[in-house]
Amino acid sequence: MLQFDVSNALPFLPKNWLSSRLDGLINAWNLLERGNGQGGEFTGWVHLPENYDPEELSRLLQTARIIRDQSQVLVVIGIGGSYLGARAVLELLTSPNYNLFCKDTPQIFFTGNTLSSDALNELLDYVRDKDFSVNMISKSGSTTESSIAFLLFRQLLEEKYGRAGARDRIFVTTDRHEGHLRALANQEGYATFSVPASIGGRYSVLTAAGLLPLAVAGLPVQELLDGAAEAMGYLRTPGQDNPAWQYAAARHALYESGKNIELLACYEPSFRFFGEWWKQLFGESEGKDGQGIFPASVEFTADLHSMGQYIQEGERDLFETVVRFAIPSSSCLLNPKPGDRSGLEYLRGKDLRFVNEQARRGTALAHADGGVPNLLLTAQERTAHWVGQLIYFFEYSCGLSGYLLGVNPFNQPGVEAYKKNMFALLGKPGYEERRKILDSRR
Ligand code: PA5
């Protein structure tokens, strides 16, 4: 079970930080469990880990094998919730350098998350002379960034392999019935997987949106689901001991006391994209109606040498949530020779995992002393089982937190504003009136 420790935040919290929020938490819990709160139609993820369709999973694993056998590279196209979860788990369970070290599995590149011609051309050039496949992921099937990337990579596949050959290399993950992409996939006969209508993008990492690329990388997706199912067992049980209730209550109390920014930190570089996934999860779920904690992430100890000064002594509107893996996957003994002038003689015989842990402890105490409350979440190991638990923990806490704040944690109306302007400026039919308004403002 994940361990949540609030002790380095207690000096900043009122005594009743948890008890005074129990009514709110019970209400939030009811809304999540019954799916009858705001956005309740998007709570399919609550039961997903134990409801996963075994036939779909077995087809997914079989498809992953086909992709592995026929590809040196898998190009995963998607943005936001159709991108960050897969990348987060891939890097956390392997390494940010997966593409350098993968041996029996294809390299995996993520695109469709940019409109940069430089970035797209770079990847198009890289795969041009390689055997590659494409997994296009878009729930709506109409997201501009992903659609443009899909157009370009589909054209390249058709140039290389012909239309029939391309068909065998395109794998589409989208809504079961709706959208342009579904229609195109049906027309062209592409293999498809679906994102359930009841699961929004940022909660979809445990659907095919995340699981297919992860299975291609050879990761044990069943263990990920089992870990999430285990977390589901203890996190859906109401009560003050529930770590998701404690996390939601602590961050809500800190927010009320003026801590507007939450820094998610970890001492493993492979966690970086998990932080990106988490930022979308909480930012898009809570940041609305003029409210919400601003989610940011840092990688320690690297960022202690860039952001450390600000965290220690800047504006006091921050709190930190540190994710810790208690048992590192590997060890590294330090053995400076006597007199080698490394200045590290005092570390002789120590393991680097011990050094990293003391850095974490020292930093937590320094930051708390400097006015930055610290929340600590401990997973035992950096394995699929524990990462599955972390995913479910943050998803469930996020649902609770949104309802505690009084917002709809499952919509993202604000994301449309830039799109409407961009479409108007690009001359998309239907946006003529907005175009006139924008032109008059220049
Ligand atoms: O959480 C969300 O719903 C969004 O971040 C979407 O995932 C993102 O905008 C991509 O949408 P789609 O999967 O429809 O292309």
Atom of ligand 1 nearest to the CA of 284: 1
- Give CA angle at 207 (66, 265), nearest 5°: 110
> How far are the Cα atoms of 14, 23, 320 from residue 19, in angstroms, in the given order?
10, 8, 22
Q: Ligand 1 pocket test: pick from 41, 76, 139 the residue with the most ligand atoms within 8 Å of its Cβ.
A: 139
Report the separation in Å between the CA atom of 44 and the middle of ligand 1, taken as the mean of its atom positions.
Answer: 16
Report the separation in Å between the CA atom of 82 and the middle of ligand 1, taken as the mean of its atom positions.
Answer: 6
Atom of ligand 1 nearest to the CA of 80: 5
Ligand 1 pocket member 138 (CB < 6 A)? yes
Q: Whose CA is nearest to atom 3 of ligand 1?
A: 201
Q: What is the dihedral of CA 398, 401, 406, 407, to 10 degrees?
A: -20
Ligand 1 pocket member 191 (CB < 6 A)? no
Q: Could you tell me which of 314, 245, 228 has the C-alpha nearest to residue 6?
A: 245
Ligand 1 pocket member 409 (CB < 6 A)? no
- Residue 42 CB partners (closer than 8 Å, separation 6+): 198, 199, 200, 203, 410, 411
> How far are the Cα atoms of 76, 77, 87, 113, 146 from residue 118, in angstroms, in the given order?
17, 16, 21, 13, 15
The per-residue pLDDT for 430 is 93
Distance CA 172, CA 187 (A): 12
- Selecting among 284, 286, 320, 395, the annotated active-site residue is 284
Tokens for 378, please give them.
């401990």
Q: What is the pTM of this model?
A: 0.97
Q: Ligand 1 pocket test: pick from 45, 79, 204 the residue with the most ligand atoms within 8 Å of its Cβ.
A: 79
The DSSP H or E segment spanning 407 is: none
Q: Could you tell me which of 432, 398, 415 has the C-alpha nearest to residue 43?
A: 398
Bridge partners of residue 149, in order along the sequence: none
The per-residue pLDDT for 441 is 87
Ligand 1 pocket member 276 (CB < 6 A)? no
φ, ψ at 41 (rounded to 5°): -70, -10
Q: How far is CA 122 from the centre of its chain?
A: 25
Specify the pairing of strand 294-299 against strand 261-266: parallel
- Residue 364 CB partners (closer than 8 Å, separation 6+): 8, 320, 322, 374, 376
Q: Does the annotation mark 284 as catalytic? A: yes
The per-residue pLDDT for 50 is 87
Ligand 1 pocket member 173 (CB < 6 A)? no
- Selecting among 313, 419, 432, 436, the annotated active-site residue is 419
The per-residue pLDDT for 416 is 86
Determine how many CB atoms are found less than 10 A away from the CB of residue 18: 18
Q: Does the annotation mark 419 as catalytic? A: yes
Q: Which pLDDT tens digits describe the chain residue by residue (442 residues)?
A: 999 999 999 999 999 999 999 999 999 999 999 999 999 999 999 999 988 999 999 999 999 999 999 999 999 999 999 999 999 999 999 999 999 999 999 999 999 999 999 999 999 999 999 999 999 999 999 999 999 999 999 999 999 999 999 999 999 999 999 999 999 999 999 999 999 999 999 999 999 999 999 999 999 999 999 999 999 999 999 999 999 999 999 999 999 999 999 999 999 999 999 999 999 999 999 999 999 999 999 999 999 999 999 999 999 999 999 999 999 999 999 999 988 899 999 999 999 999 999 999 999 999 999 999 999 999 999 999 999 999 999 999 999 999 999 999 999 999 888 999 999 999 999 999 999 999 898 6
Ligand 1 pocket member 82 (CB < 6 A)? yes
Q: Does the annotation mark 47 as catalytic? A: no
